[in-house]
């Protein structure tokens, strides 16, 4: 029974990591940018919820979706579009700068003390299934993640923009040569990453009940690790990596002896270092990257 409970705990955490990793993986696949400012898209979504606390739920959610998406488009236009021909290292540094800038603007406006937000407290209750305790929030998170992933797959398979995005992920120069509009495809990818980020922020705020200017930082690190594990550039890989990191992390928390438990993250990362020795390209390396190597 306890094994089953641990499995549920692991999958629900994995689902959130997968959503965060998808946002990172998507942007990397179309423009080879590791966007560390993705965490700030999550954070700004959270602060939108905080600012609008007490408004109707739908208003809070739509506003947060809008804010994160507009911010994602804004950072693409202002910080990344002009650097598109620059090296990945330059893009990476630029994303750090954007991340610090947004964090410190929020710090100035709201201060450093984390603040409580009453957002969807109803989801905190757990349902009891024959001795298994399943918090509603975790069920909803797993369901939302599956729906979003199915939606993304459909979008990539069936829509023209999705097709163009996949083409761009395979080989950006070639895609442009056959008429894919770079600005449009990249802006679209950022918009999707903004939407994914705000959904992660819904989970985080509903789970923790607080917002702080650093709330996106650890999530983006995990997301980054997840997309490396899954294979940089592969969108399915990012999702898979997210699930894997969540499951490994919860399993270690559950089964490490108590004296070693404080060092859980050290074990998590050690395992992933070993994993990368075995598969340096990650689980599902994108074809484009393999060609370059």
Residue 288 structure tokens: 């484009």
- Alpha carbon distance 255, 257 (integer Å): 6
* Position among 77, 264, 288, 289 found at the interface with another protein (CB under 8 A): 264
Shortest separation between residue 212's beta carbon and another protein, angstroms? 5
114 binds another protein (CB under 8 A): yes
Closer CB to another protein, 178 or 258, in the complex: 258
- Alpha carbon distance 265, 288 (integer Å): 32
274 binds another protein (CB under 8 A): no
CB-facing half-sphere around the CA of 235: CA atoms within 13 A? 24
Site residue total, another protein (CB under 8 A):
46
Site string for another protein, 195-224 (x = CB under 8 A): --------xx--xxxxxx--x-xxx-----
Residue 45 structure tokens: 């979504």
* Position among 58, 89, 113, 278 found at the interface with another protein (CB under 8 A): 113
Shortest separation between residue 215's beta carbon and another protein, angstroms? 8
What is the three-class DSSP state of 215?
Answer: coil
266 binds another protein (CB under 8 A): no
* Greatest Cα-to-Cα distance within the chain, rounded to the nearest angstrom: 59
51 binds another protein (CB under 8 A): no
Shortest separation between residue 59's beta carbon and another protein, angstroms? 18
144 binds another protein (CB under 8 A): no
53 binds another protein (CB under 8 A): yes
- The single residue listed with the structure tokens 């997840």 is 226
- According to DSSP, residue 91 is labeled H
Q: Give 122-150 as a 3 state SS string.
A: HHHCEEEECCEEEEHHHHHHHHHHHHHHH
* Spatial CA neighbour of 120 closest among 62, 203, 43: 203
Q: Which residues bind another protein (CB under 8 A)?
A: 2, 5-6, 8-10, 12-13, 16, 53, 107, 111-118, 121, 124-126, 133, 135, 138, 203-204, 207-212, 215, 217-219, 250, 253-254, 258, 261-262, 264-265
């Amino acid at each position: 029974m306890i094994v089953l409970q641990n499995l549920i705990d692991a999958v629900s955490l994995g689902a959130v990591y997968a959503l965060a990793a998808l946002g990172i993986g998507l942007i990397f696949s179309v423009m080879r940018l590791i966007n560390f400012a993705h965490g700030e898209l999550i954070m700004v979504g959270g602060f939108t919820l905080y600012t609008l606390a007490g408004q109707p739920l739908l208003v809070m959610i739509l506003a947060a979706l809008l804010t994160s998406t507009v911010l994602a488009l804004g950072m693409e236009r202002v910080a990344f579009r002009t650097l598109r021909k620059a090296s990945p290292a330059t893009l990476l540094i630029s994303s750090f700068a954007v991340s610090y800038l947004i964090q410190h603007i929020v710090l100035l406006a709201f201060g450093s003390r984390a603040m409580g937000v009453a957002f969807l407290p109803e989801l905190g209750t757990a349902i009891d299934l024959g001795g298994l305790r399943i918090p509603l929030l975790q069920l909803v998170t797993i369901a939302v993640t599956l729906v979003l992933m199915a939606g993304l797959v459909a979008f990539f398979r069936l829509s023209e923009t999705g097709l163009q995005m996949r083409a761009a992920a395979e080989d950006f120069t070639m895609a442009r040569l056959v008429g894919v509009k770079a600005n449009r495809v990249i802006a679209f990818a950022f918009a999707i990453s903004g939407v994914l980020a705000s959904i992660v922020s819904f989970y985080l705020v509903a789970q923790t009940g607080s917002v702080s200017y650093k709330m996106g930082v650890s999530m983006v690190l995990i997301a980054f690790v997840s997309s490396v594990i899954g294979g940089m550039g592969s969108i399915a890989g990012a999702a898979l990596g997210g699930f894997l990191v969540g499951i490994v992390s919860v399993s270690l928390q559950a089964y490490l002896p108590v004296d070693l438990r404080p060092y859980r993250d050290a074990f998590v990362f050690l395992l992933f270092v070993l994993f990368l020795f075995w598969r340096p390209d990650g689980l599902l390396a994108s074809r484009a990257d393999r060609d370059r190597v």
